[in-house]
Structure 1
Amino acid sequence: MTDSPTPQVWPTLRAIDAPALIRFLVDAFGFEETVVHGDGKRVDHAELSWPLGGGIMLGSVREDPDDPWALKPGTFGAYVVADDIDALHARAVAAGAEITRKPFDTDYGSRDFTARDPEGNLWSFGTYRGAPR
């Protein structure tokens, strides 16, 4: 068990086929399915944890014109910290991820790659952990 606090900022997205997107994010990138609420192909609320900390929330697109959280599928983008970029890239390729930028080294010491999920969202993975607080 870790002493890290639970995430307090949750990036969120909507998906046309939320169950399929969840499976993809788990299989291709290594997110961990924490909770999924819904019925059949409809996901009302899901949380996926990232092994190094943090996570995302997602749900199915709703056909409700008064939806207070009407996010368009495929418009999400995130930078996710990972330790072994080359191994994660190989995993993503094996799972069928569309790689939009192969692994590369940045001028600030990070190793990164970028992929697009089946819904069209962009995921950048890198070793850069951000500036110290």
Structure 2
Amino acid sequence: MAVLRIIANLTAADPQAGRAFYQDLLGLEVVMDHGWIVTYAGQGSQTPQLSLASEGGNGTPVPDLSIEVDDVDEVHARARAAGYAITYGPADEPWGVRRFFVRDPLGRLVNILSHTG
């Protein structure tokens, strides 16, 4: 038996409300849209991961999602320009990531990060 992928399922009264954030800001592609559920996918490939945390690091709250990007500063600038609420960072963390926390339109706390090393 092998886990093939892990999918985050977030409750949303209006699944279309996240489109500007996840598709336009982060560049994710809509790979399934049934109206009641919209699934986004990136271009990279990664092994399935699941994190369990008592905090988000450096005393921050645990984010609902962590999304790794190739240029965290570019996404941060675009998020600020779009008026999304930045709640932490950007910060260079001692465990080798540069990141910021942002609220998506559904109120979820999203950790946007790039590895620095």
TM above 0.5 = yes
Stretches of structure 2 lacking an aligned partner (at least 5 in a row): 47-62
Aligned residue number for residue 77 of structure 1? 64
> Could you say which structure has the higher strand fraction?
1
CA contact (8 A) 1:28 1:97 kept: no
3-state SS of the aligned residue for 2:112? strand
Aligned residue number for residue 77 of structure 2? 90
Identity %: 33
Which stretch shows the higher mean deviation, 106-115 or 120-129?
Answer: 120-129
Q: Say if 2:38 is the partner of 1:51.
A: no
Which stretch shows the higher mean deviation, 45-54 or 9-18?
Answer: 45-54
CA contact (8 A) 1:29 1:92 kept: no
Aligned residue number for residue 122 of structure 1? 109
Q: Say if 2:33 is the partner of 1:33.
A: no
Q: Say if 2:97 is the partner of 1:110.
A: yes
**Equivalent-residue separation in structure 2 for 1:105 and 1:17 (angstroms):** 34
TM-score, normalising length from structure 2?
0.72
Report deviation, 1:53.
3.7
TM-score, normalising length from structure 1?
0.64
The letter of the residue matching 2:5 is: Q
Please give the per-residue CA displacement for 1:61-110, whole angstroms capped at 9, x wherever unaligned: xxxxxxxxxxxxxxx70111111110011111122211111211001121
Aligned residue number for residue 20 of structure 2? 23
**Equivalent-residue separation in structure 2 for 1:53 and 1:97 (angstroms):** 27
The letter of the residue matching 1:20 is: A
